[in-house]
Amino acid sequence: MTRAQPKSQRRAAHIDYRWIALSNTTLGILMAALNASTVLIALPAIFRGIGINPLAPGETDYLLWLLVGYTLVLAVMLVPAGRISDMYGRVRLYNAGFAVFAVASIACYFVPGSGNGAVLWLIGARMVQAVGGAFLMANSAAILTDAFPPDQRGFAMGVNQIAGLAGGFIGLLLGGVLAEVDWRAIFLVSVPFGVIGAIWAYLMLHETATIRRHQRFDLVGLVLFGVGLSAVLIAFNFALQPSGDATTGWTNPWILGSVAGGLLVLAAFVVVELRVADPLFRMDLFRSRRFASGNIAGALSSIARGGLQLILIVWLQGIWLPQHGYTFDQTPLWAGIYMLPMTAGFLISGPLAGALSDRFGTRQFATAGMLLSVVGFIGMMLIPANFDYPVFAALLLLLGVSQGVFAAPNTASVMNSVPAAFRGVASGMRAAFLNVGQSLSLTVIFTLVVLGLSANLPSALVGHLTAAGVPAAMAQPLARIPPIGALFAAFLGYNPMGMMLPPDQLAALPAATRTAILDTSFFPQLLSGPFVDGLRVAFSACALVSLGAAAASWWNGPEPDLAGETVGAGVGPHAHPHAPVAEAMLEAAVGEAVVEPEED
For residue 109, how many other CB atoms are within 10 A of its CB? Answer: 16
pLDDT > 90 in the chain, percent: 15
Distance CA 538, CA 443 (A): 11
| pLDDT at residue 498 greater than cutoff 80 | no
Looking at residue 266, the DSSP 8-state letter turns out to be H
Residue 15, pLDDT score = 63
Domain coverage including residue 269: 218-277
Do 363 and 237 fall within a single domain?
A: no
* Stretch 264-279: mean pLDDT: 89
How far is the C-alpha of 85 from the C-alpha of 422, rounded, in Å?
10
* Banded pLDDT at 14 (limits 50, 70, 90): very low
Q: Taking each helix axis as running N to C, give the angle between helix 308-315 and helix 289-305, from 0 to 180 degrees, rounded to the nearest 10.
A: 10
Over range 74-88, report the average pLDDT: 84
pLDDT one-digit tens code per residue, 216-225: 787 888 899 8
Residue ending a domain, choose from 277, 298, 317: 277
Under DSSP, the state recorded for 216 is: P
pLDDT tier, 560 (very low <50, low <70, confident <90, very high otherwise)? low
pLDDT at residue 215 tops 60: yes
The pTM is what? 0.78
* More confident site: 499 or 295: 295
Which of 152-156, 209-213, 575-579 is predicted least confidently?
575-579
Where is average pLDDT lowest: 202-211, 305-314, 349-358? 202-211
Q: Give the C-alpha separation, 381 to 339, whole Å.
A: 17
- Are residues 169 and 23 located together in one domain of the fold? yes
Same domain, 305 and 253: no
Query: What confidence tens digit (pLDDT) does each residue in 512-533 have?
Result: 888 888 887 788 887 777 788 8
- 91 and 188 part of one domain: yes
Question: What does the pLDDT look like over 126-140, one tens digit per residue?
Answer: 999 999 988 988 888
Q: Is residue 232 part of a domain?
A: yes
Burial string for 242-255 (b: 16+ CB within 10 Å, else e) reads: bbeeebbbbebeeb
Q: Are residues 166 and 120 in the same domain?
A: yes
pLDDT of residue 490: 64
Q: Is the pLDDT of residue 595 over 70?
A: no
Tell me, yes or no, whether 512 lies in a domain.
no
Average pLDDT over residues 222-248: 83
Are residue 235 and residue 295 in the same domain, yes or no? no
Residue 185 has pLDDT above 70, yes or no: yes
The answer to whether residue 485 is domain-embedded is no
Do residues 193 and 177 share a domain?
yes
Report residue 335's pLDDT band, with 50, 70 and 90 as the boundaries. confident
395 and 354 assigned to the same domain: yes
Buried residues in 447-480 as b, exposed as e (16+ CB within 10 A) = bbbbbbbbebbbebbbebbeebebeeebbeebee
Chosen domain end from 235, 261, 277: 277
Is 160 in the same domain as 263? no
The confidence score (pLDDT) of residue 249 equals: 78
DSSP string, 73-105: HHHHHHHHHHHHHHHH-HHHHHHHHHHHHHHHH
CATH number of the domain that residue 201 is part of: 1.20.1250.20
Same domain, 159 and 242: no
Q: Which residues pair with 243 in a beta bridge?
A: 246
> Is 474 part of any domain?
no
Number of domains in the chain: 2
Segment 236-240 shows an average pLDDT of 80
Whether residue 520 is contained in a domain is answered as: no
Distance from C-alpha of 225 to C-alpha of 425, rounded to nearest angstrom: 14
Reference 526, options 468, 442, 444; nearest CA is 468
Residue 492 within a domain: no
Shared domain for 85 and 131, answered yes or no, is: yes
> Which pairs count as long-range contacts for 123-126, CB under 8 Å and 24+ apart, including other chains?
123/62, 123/65, 123/66, 123/69, 126/39, 126/66, 126/69, 126/70
Amino acid 300: pLDDT? 92
Say whether both 252 and 400 belong to one domain: no
> What confidence score (pLDDT) does residue 588 get?
45
Q: Indicate whether 599 belongs to any domain.
A: no
Residue 598 is assigned to a structural domain of this protein:
no
Q: Is the pLDDT of residue 328 over 70?
A: yes
Residue finishing a domain among 236, 254, 277: 277
Q: Helices 423-467 and 389-416 sit at what angle, rounded to 10 degrees? A: 160
- Average pLDDT (318-334) is 80
